[in-house]
Amino acid sequence: MCNSFSEKSREEQLKEIIYRIHDGEKINDLKKEFQYLLKHLSAEEITSMEQSLLQEGVTPEEIKNLCDIHVEVFEDSLKKNIEKEKEHTHPVTVFKQENRELESRLKEIKKILKNFKKTQNPQTYEQLQLSANQLKEFEKHYIRKENQLFPRLEAAGFTGPTTVMWGKHDEIRGELKAFLKLLNNADSAASSKELSSRFSALSKKMEKMIFMEEKILYPASLKKLTDKDWDQIRKEEQEIGLAWLAPTHQEKQMDSQLPDSSELVYNTSEEDMMNKLIQIPLHEGIVTQQQLDLMLQALPFDLTFVDENDQVRYYSATDDRIFPRTPSIIGRTVQNCHPPKSVHIVEKIVASFKNKEKTSAEFWIDLQGRKVHIRYFPVYDASGNYRGTIEVSQDITDIQKLEGEKRLLDWE
C-alpha cells in the first residue's frame, strides 16, 4: 500500500490523509498506512498542507472541524520534533510561559472541582468561582496572536493556518463563556457533574490549542518571520498586555532587544516633529497633522478606516479602546481582521457599500457588563466613487440611562 503513494509529494499524501479522515476512515489505520511519512513530519509541512487545502476550496470552517482530528494523527511525529529555542526575551518564549501558567491553572481548577464533588462545600465552590473567572485573563494571549502574530504571518503568505486557528480561539471563548455562565449562576449552584463536563470540554480545547501553538504555529513562525518582525511584536506586547505575567517580567521583554528608535512606527525624530506641523486643508478649515491626530484620538468612540481595497488604513489609538488594536493591522485586509465565522458578514456589508445598496450597518452587543454600539458607514468621493468604510464603536451604557434634559453646567 505504501508504494502506491511513492510518486506523490509529501504534501499530496498529507492532504490524502485529511480527505480520508473526512470520509470517515479510522485514524489508527491511517497512522499504520502512512507511518513512513509521519515518522519525520515537520510543522512546516502541516501548515503548507492546510494552506493548500484552502486554495483548493476547502473552507476554513471545514478545516477547523477536522483540526482536532488531524492533530491527533500527526501528534506522535510532532512530539519528536526538536525546535531551536530562541532567547529568553523572545515573544515565542513569552507565549510559552503563558501556556505553562495556563496549564498550572487548569490543573488547579480540576483539583478544586474534584474536591467540591466530594465535599459540596460552599467555600470550595467560591474558590472554584475565583479560580475559574481568572481564566478570562488568558484572552490577552489569544488577542496578541490575532492582532500581532497573525498579521505578520499573513504578510509572509501564511494565511490558512492562522484563519483556522482564529476559529479555534472562538470555540474556546464559547466554551469558557458557557462554563462561567454555569458556574456564576446567581440562582443556584451548578452540580459538580455539570461543572465537570463543561470544564472538561474547555480544558481539552485549551490543551489542544497549546499543542497546536507549540508544535505547529511557533516553529513555523520562527522560520517565516524576521528579527525585525519579532522586535515589533515584542514592542506591541504592551498594547494588549500579558496573561498573568508580572509587569516586571513584561518590562524585561522590552530591554536590550528593542529595535533602534529610528525603526519604530512612531518615532520622535526632528523630521517626525516637522511632519506633525504640516498644514492639512480639509473640506472646512485647515489643521496641522498633529492637531488632526489629537482630535481623532480625543473622540469618545473607537474609529477604524478601511480603504477601497479593503485594507485597514487607520484606527484611533485611544487608551480606553473597546476593541484592541495594534499597528500590525495597518495594511491588513479587513477580512483577516475578523474571525472566520463573521467574515461573510463583513464581506456582505462592504459589498453593499461598494454597490451603493446600503448607507449604514449597525449592531449592538453586551461586552463585560457594558452595551456597545457598532456602526459602519461608507465613504464616497465627490464623484461618487467608493473610497472606503468607517467603523465606529461606542460604549452607550451611560447614554441609555439619560432621561429628561440637562441644560446647566453642574461642575463643583
Tell me which residue has cell 453642574.
Answer: 410
Residue 42 pLDDT exceeds 70: no
Q: Residue 318 carries which DSSP code?
A: -
Report how far residue 44's alpha carbon sits from residue 47's, in angstroms, rounded to the nearest whole number: 5
Report how far residue 253's alpha carbon sits from residue 249's, in angstroms, rounded to the nearest whole number: 7
The amino acid sitting at 234 is: R
More confident residue, 348 or 2: 348
* Residues 288-324 pLDDT 10s: 888 898 999 999 999 999 999 999 999 998 878 888 8
Residue 407 pLDDT exceeds 80: yes
- Write out the H or E segment, with its range, that includes residue 386: strand 386-395
Q: Summarize the confidence of residues 154-161 as an average pLDDT.
A: 80
Q: Given the DSSP bridges, would you call strands 312-315 and 386-395 parallel, antiparallel or unpaired?
A: unpaired
Concatenated DSSP letters for 183-219?
HT-SSSPPPHHHHHHHHHHHHHHHHHHHHHIIIIIHH
Which phi-psi region, left, alpha or beta, contains residue 331 (left: φ > 0; alpha: ψ -120 to 50)?
A: left
Report how far residue 339's alpha carbon sits from residue 175's, in angstroms, rounded to the nearest whole number: 16
Give 258's pLDDT tier (boundaries 50, 70, 90).
Answer: very low
* Residues 264-289 pLDDT 10s: 344 445 656 666 678 889 888 999 88
